[in-house]
Structure 1
Amino acid sequence: MSADLSLLASDLVVLASRLTRAVRREVDHPAGARALSLLDEHGPSGVTALAAADRCSQPTMTATVKVLREQGLVDRHPHPTDGRAHVVALTEAGRAELARIRHANAELVTARLGATHTAEEVAIAVAVLRDVLDLRPGPSDQEDATP
């Protein structure tokens, strides 16, 4: 890797973190927004799988799910094959809340991007980030639906 690419890669990590923090400061992200996003991305999941996907402890995710259930944003159903376990799924209210958060995020970033960058430039940036995160959309995403 060239020195220039290495410096740019370092900048990318720093700037991505700053962007995330800036959006969270300016947009109301309720506790559990990440869990809602994970459920949307992966579909109904057990608490242990959600905790692993979020890189938090199982007790932390259990508490998060409890709050989300009290708010009506997720629901718990018996696991289809394990009578001892439950699966957490988004409710319609949870989908609506996640859509609200994502819309607010997009509006904030669009306002900042629109004045200086074209849609094509932003599409290239998004493609690069997907490559870095190995998040290319495709049929294999559906096969790996559980975290």
Structure 2
Amino acid sequence: MPTPTPATDAHLTRLAGELVTAAGRLVREVRRSSPQVAPTLRVLAMLDDHGPLTVGRVAELDGTSQPTATAAVRGLVGQGWVQRTPHPDDARSTLLDLTPAGRTALADQRRRNAALVRDRLLAAGRHSPDDLARAVDLLRALTEGTA
């Protein structure tokens, strides 16, 4: 991308802010459709994205306290969605990982979330699958640092 002029930089900055706001609103709308699932989904998604993690790392990634993360993980272990295994490098610690049931629960919730967004797109009738593909590519590039 060429170096922006002050006018194009201001426009780009405004659009970038609008993108963050719109993405946040979409995530909140999806979460409101299943409010009890949101914290659970975040932990399951973190384990899916990062692989086995300690409770401390889950808390760090989620921006919560370790006691809050511990309580969330305890519930997920109780549901059979997360398992604890001994940490190979620290005998005092355990690693958390998804169980097959946890992977299924995560996939099911992601399908429900996708259906909600799909239904909104179809109801609006203004956007094509290509529009959605470009939006996904842009958001993926921004979150992966490859934009």
Superposition TM-score tier, normalisation by shorter sequence: 0.7 to 0.9
1:22 aligns with 2:29: yes
| TM-score normalised per structure 2 | 0.84
Instruction: Tell me: CA distance 1:108–1:127, structure 2 relative to 1, closer, same or farther (3 Å).
Output: same
| TM-score normalised per structure 1 | 0.84
CA positional deviation for 1:75: 0.9
Partner secondary structure for residue 32 of structure 1? helix
CA positional deviation for 1:89: 0.8
Residues 32-73 of structure 1 deviation map (CA, whole Å, 9 limit, x = unaligned): 210000001111111111111111111111111001111111
Match of 2:132 in 1: 122
CA positional deviation for 1:29: 4.8
What is the RMSD computed on CA atoms of the aligned residues? 1.6
Do the aligned partners of 1:27 and 1:105 also contact (CA within 8 Å) in 2? no
Partner secondary structure for residue 25 of structure 1? helix
**Distance in structure 1 (CA, Å) of the matches to 2:53 and 2:108:** 22
**Distance in structure 2 (CA, Å) of the matches to 1:41 and 1:110:** 23
Do the aligned partners of 1:27 and 1:104 also contact (CA within 8 Å) in 2? no
Larger Rg: 2
Q: How does 1:76-91 map to 2 (within 5 A)?
A: 76-91=84-99
Partner secondary structure for residue 83 of structure 2? strand
Match of 1:35 in 2: 43
Match of 1:134 in 2: 144
Segments of 5+ residues of structure 1 without an aligned counterpart are 137-147
**Distance in structure 2 (CA, Å) of the matches to 1:116 and 1:104:** 22
CA positional deviation for 1:10: 1.4
Aligned letter for 2:131?
E
Aligned residues: 136
Match of 2:16 in 1: 9
**Distance in structure 1 (CA, Å) of the matches to 2:85 and 2:23:** 36
Q: How does 1:72-111 map to 2 (within 5 A)?
A: 72-111=80-119
> Identity of counterpart residues, as a percentage?
44
